[in-house]
Structure 1
């Protein structure tokens, strides 16, 4: 019988090499992956190997060709996405779980931290004490799980078990035009249909208009349909706008409709005293989501759903009993970690096999605590506000939407230039290719905006200032004007006070 060819040990040896290479990558002194793509593609783009090359040769290829040609996303100047590079402890905890607890099952320390860290998150983000959580792969699945609970609740109210018997009749989900596209996808996957999502108008700042919601609810009151949920945003992905949660939640309760708050990006903003009053009404929510792989600095692949009644999740998503999984022992009678599977998270969502995500969140919060996360959020929000202040003061810049959280939507302006959208698109593409500052763009009230989102633990105030300097320099070059004076831009005040 052939022996196993895969190396299953010697982690200390290989992690030293890997850690050295990753630390060099994190200096961000290397060229972009597209600088000489033929070099690494020649090594990586090969046929399926009939015979392996062994772990040492694989490590050689990883350190020479794979890691140095990785993503620009961890770069502190990359502000394009609402995900970022993991912090050190988040990456280490992920690796620890991959080796020591590859599933979130059984009565071990990793399984214990699933629930412990969810309770910490709920307390940190000021959720109602009764709310219980579940980890999933990110905000899209977190929204799906939350709306699955809403669907279960809504149809049970009219005497139907949708998880068992299917959806019957028309349904309605109410969400603003600024809601994340995962809301429509969740409606499709849950059998409600994308057309079940009714779009509610927003104001000039991208916030749902409660009066428009109420008018729609009144129109639908006597229709033969099941109202499933009202979805509000606690920080939109486009601009960081926070819907008026108090007014929307009050309406949802008055009409006896599930109230869901999508806080995948923006919910941690509640820790910033400058904006925390905007979260009034969060206590009315029946479900809330947040992504630790955004502001908390976890590796991508961790979202969290919180609901008032986790039994609804079990009724909505249970896979029912499997003959090969014994559940007879309780935690009180167990004498071995495999005497029980622990809390049945696999019955609360769509994943059966899932990593131990709770240990990652636990490690992140143990490292910096609530105070460290609050300081990070305040720093990033202040950066967006200060960028807006500098843009207000400069004749060649324009703020298209006032920052609420850590997103600032602004653009370069020149009265003589015929197409400002095209100009700013050109500036943005030049920024990306220069590689020092990589924001995204969005459209605000019909106008193209340059959109940095300050989020990563490595991102500090100098990135905001340098981004503006580069936008001004590029704008001046593309409009044939003189290079702007960026030396008198002032300094950012101490944002930790």
Structure 2
């Protein structure tokens, strides 16, 4: 089929068909993709076509073989990961951007919303007025960008431009022992090396110990290591722990070190008045990250980095001039949206080509407002507390990690099992295979916990209760199977 003819259809016709297919998927009445994997794999594993089959036929195949065999992650009962299914407006705004603004450049409404939505989030989360942001693909790149700024600042203080000339001295990053592993990866990519990350001890609740940080900083003063950043969690991915931000930030300031706060998951928790005091000290941060594709319900692929001095990002990540870009626009008075590239986001991070992410975040906030997002955050935190309360009240359950935010750790107890970690590991795998409630697991001080994380916009008290019921039902089933095997 001629390619031009294949593109002649109207979006309204085809998007309506796709919407019906996706609506059917969101009822979650279909079996899991691995129930009949051979069927859809054989249907899709066709030879590469020489001639195309057209939009209508491709949509039919999407609806029959691809969409119904998608991921269970958007299911309200799936609480395994901190990323979740996008809200409807998030998905629609993404579609709008992919059609109407496929690049993050130019003087368009979409690019206007990049800066506006970043400013909205900064105000919503109580960041200092001078903080400005940059979108990227998620927390991993957001941490990389923030630590790139920290590296730039540390070496510029020595009269060195590390982005231009490279690193001339071994570095040290100080992070909670429960920091996200993207911190180590960022250190590697930035040339400081994974071993430059020094894990600071945490307390029983998973929070960084400021005294341990101070001891390490004092010890490192006797070395040639250049301190680059102190990294605190505002909601760790493991347990949702919030480090004592003020004490850590004041310690970093006393030693003249960049203070970075990783709030990829947990920063929106500041909207819950019950935990708001735990964010005291956020104003001391030199950089903060947050992922709208976690708790705000954006499609996966949207993170944000905030820094007090965005010009540092320009120096850390600027690219060499390209004649095909620089000559395409002018700095004169704009009579056309392509007369100027707009804010040079491409020089502030690691992406040149990037989608219009700001319109998605703008749409999410515009749809339900700060009040709606606050209600969601409070609801999710309440769900985690509800799970903990039910576990406390049942003789066969135990709270392993009490919730601070929307993460809770529980385990099943049985006096017929010596190895409770193995028992709960089997319970978890059985729960996943049943597909009704799908949490993850984690280790908390050596104890394996079944770990739900409530972030899905569609997740309610019903799913929280179903999860506890599943742990109890499957726990009894697995314990009984063990008795029968032993007998």
Alignment of 1:316-395 (within 5 A): 316-325=316-325, 326=327, 329-330=330-331, 333-395=333-395
Alignment of 1:471-482 (within 5 A): 471-480=471-480
Match of 1:493 in 2: none
Match of 2:206 in 1: 206
Match of 1:150 in 2: 150
Partners of 1:6 and 1:342 lie apart in 2 by 34
| Residues 318 and 6 (structure 1), Cα distance of their counterparts in 2 relative to 1, 3 Å cut | farther
Alignment of 1:475-490 (within 5 A): 475-480=475-480
> SS of the residue aligned with 2:382?
helix
1:262 maps onto 2:259 in alignment? no
TM-score relative to the length of structure 1: 0.95
Partners of 2:176 and 2:328 lie apart in 1 by 43
Match of 2:80 in 1: 80
Q: List per-residue Cα deviations over 1:33-91 (Å, max 9, x = no partner).
A: 11111111011112322221111111110011111110000000000000000000000
Alignment of 1:182-221 (within 5 A): 182-221=182-221
Deviation at 1:222, TM superposition (A): 3.0
1:58 maps onto 2:73 in alignment? no
Q: List per-residue Cα deviations over 1:233-264 (Å, max 9, x = no partner).
A: 00010110111101100000000000000000
Query: Runs (4+) of structure 1 moved beyond 3 Å?
Result: 2-6, 326-330
1:412 maps onto 2:440 in alignment? no
Match of 2:226 in 1: 226
Deviation at 1:142, TM superposition (A): 0.2
Match of 1:253 in 2: 253
* Contact 2:268-2:295 at 8 Å conserved across structures: yes
Alignment of 1:304-315 (within 5 A): 304-315=304-315
* Contact 2:329-2:341 at 8 Å conserved across structures: no
Structure 2 gaps of 5+ residues are: 482-487
Partners of 2:151 and 2:65 lie apart in 1 by 47
Q: List per-residue Cα deviations over 1:18-44 (Å, max 9, x = no partner).
A: 000100100111111111111110111
> SS of the residue aligned with 2:324?
coil
Match of 2:431 in 1: 431
State the aligned residue count.
Answer: 479
Alignment of 1:18-29 (within 5 A): 18-29=18-29
Partners of 1:390 and 1:323 lie apart in 2 by 64
Match of 2:302 in 1: 302
Alignment of 1:135-174 (within 5 A): 135-174=135-174
Partners of 1:403 and 1:301 lie apart in 2 by 27
TM-score relative to the length of structure 2: 0.97
Alignment of 1:94-133 (within 5 A): 94-133=94-133
| Residues 196 and 5 (structure 1), Cα distance of their counterparts in 2 relative to 1, 3 Å cut | farther
> SS of the residue aligned with 2:85?
coil
Match of 2:484 in 1: none
Match of 1:12 in 2: 12
Match of 1:275 in 2: 275
| Residues 299 and 328 (structure 1), Cα distance of their counterparts in 2 relative to 1, 3 Å cut | closer
Match of 2:91 in 1: 91
Partners of 1:345 and 1:8 lie apart in 2 by 34
Match of 2:403 in 1: 403
Match of 1:491 in 2: none
| Residues 474 and 268 (structure 1), Cα distance of their counterparts in 2 relative to 1, 3 Å cut | same
Deviation at 1:3, TM superposition (A): 6.4
> SS of the residue aligned with 1:243?
coil
Comparing 244-253 with 409-418, greater Cα deviation is found at: 409-418
Partners of 2:221 and 2:128 lie apart in 1 by 29
